[in-house]
Amino acid sequence: MTVLLGSIDLTFLAISLAKIIVLTFMVILPMVAYSVMAERRGAAIMQDRVGPNRTNLPLTLLGFKKDLSIFGMGGLLQPMADGLKFILKEDFTPKHVRTFYFWLAPALTMVPALLTCAVLPFGSELNLGFLGLAQPVKAVIADLNVGPLYTFAIASLGVYGIVLAGWSSNSKYPFLGAVRSSSQMISYELSLGLAIVPVLMVFGELNLGKIAAAQDADGWLILPLWGHGLSLGRLLLWIPMLISFVIFTIAMFAETNRMPFDLPECETELVAGYHTEYSSMKFALFFLGEYAAMIIGSGLAVTLFLGGWSIPFGPLLGLGYTPGATPLWLGLLHIATFFAKVIVFILFFIGVRWTVPRFRYDQLMKLGWLWMFEIALANVLLTAVIMWLVPLK
């Protein structure tokens, strides 16, 4: 027992805990809240409207003359107001539902979405020497050697939440939404998985942190313009990598039930889809789970294809990553780069949502099975042929 207790590295535990708390509760969750707001404001901007711009710090409650708007931009506290509204609303459980599963389903949507952020490398490393730590701290919660596999394994649990919600609601629209969702997610997981096979072939590596570091040194997968990236093999591999990226992104839209693929919700046909019977915080959990999945999906796409935390042309500018010898400011800059890329990707998600109309169901299945699956498969073959003809190293 003493040996067991002695073998636990308390510093490691404390650092991990700090990383979990900071990343999940202080970065991802606020990002979820604010991406909801960005969605609403973005939609308004694209549709020539104003959007929510009234929610400010309610100083008038304390007797001041005006509410305080942050940065002079109204409505920045809208997410807090939304959250408060969800908490204060009646949490209604209809008579006809299966109560246990009805209560389980929202948690099953939210939890996997947050779990997947464990393997995302959100920065290179932080040199916390001033705190007395000899080793620099890696900016990833769990440095797993099976990163993408872990992500897919957990992310595909998300469909259980939706299926359980639809089934336990015991009413027709949620049920239809759940059926659609399960078949859609299963179809698109195939192309999602196949799309990253070429990536894994190029790196020979399943550790997301090492994949990001390799891209920092040798050029991003879709921008191979420095380091070894300028070799003939890598430039030829540009084509299959771009195809992979496009397929991965489309499949990611489908996995997160975002707009061109939001058939599980589909307001015009299915009321609200699988969460028709839900109210208050349980509905909010579905909502937040969807956005968390979107953020983490963006994070994965950024890590795999857009170089993760690496700054474009970083090694040439002297902003590259050197293991064990990255100064603190550069580590922080890398973290900021990662989140900047994720935010740009989320804005892309939002732009596409208000651009592309929803697919018809048979078109969705056709696109998934007859186009993306085959192209992804052929892409694996193409990558293999290129790598066989022009060996990388």
Q: Could you say which of 47, 61, 95, 132 contacts other proteins (CB under 8 A)?
A: 47
CB 353 within 8 A of CB 259: yes
Contact region with other proteins (CB under 8 A), list: 38-46, 117-125, 279-287, 301-309: 38-46
Is 120 or 364 the residue whose CB approaches other proteins more closely? 364
Exposure string for 13-49, b = 16+ CB within 10 A, e = fewer? eebeeebeeebbeebbbebbbbbbbbbbbbeeeeeee
Q: How far is the CB of 254 from other proteins (least distance, A)?
A: 12
- Contact string (CB under 8 A) for other proteins, positions 231-270, x = contact: ---------------x---x---------x----------
Is residue 77 involved in binding other proteins (CB under 8 A)? no
Task: Please give the Cα distance from 140 to 186 (Å, whole number).
Answer: 29
Exposure string for 83-120, b = 16+ CB within 10 A, e = fewer? eeebeeeeeeeeeebeeebbebbbebbbbbbbbbbbbb
Task: Please give the Cα distance from 287 to 113 (Å, whole number).
Answer: 11
Please tell me the count of residues contacting other proteins according to CB under 8 A: 17
Is residue 73 involved in binding other proteins (CB under 8 A)? no
- Which residues in 359-388 contact other proteins (CB under 8 A)? 367, 371
CA angle in degrees (0–180, nearest 5) for 390-250-308:
60
Contact region with other proteins (CB under 8 A), list: 24-32, 41-49, 216-224, 279-287: 41-49
Is 48 or 362 the residue whose CB approaches other proteins more closely? 48
Contact region with other proteins (CB under 8 A), list: 64-72, 120-128, 183-191, 353-361: 353-361
CB 253 within 8 A of CB 259: yes
Task: Please give the Cα distance from 52 to 37 (Å, whole number).
Answer: 8
Contact region with other proteins (CB under 8 A), list: 16-24, 39-47, 57-65, 108-116: 39-47
Q: How far is the CB of 66 from other proteins (least distance, A)?
A: 11
Task: Please give the Cα distance from 393 to 391 (Å, whole number).
Answer: 6
- Which residues in 153-182 contact other proteins (CB under 8 A)? none
**Sign of the alpha-carbon dihedral angle for 317, 323, 324, 328:** positive
Binding site for other proteins (CB under 8 A): 42, 45-50, 246, 250, 260, 351-352, 354-356, 367, 371
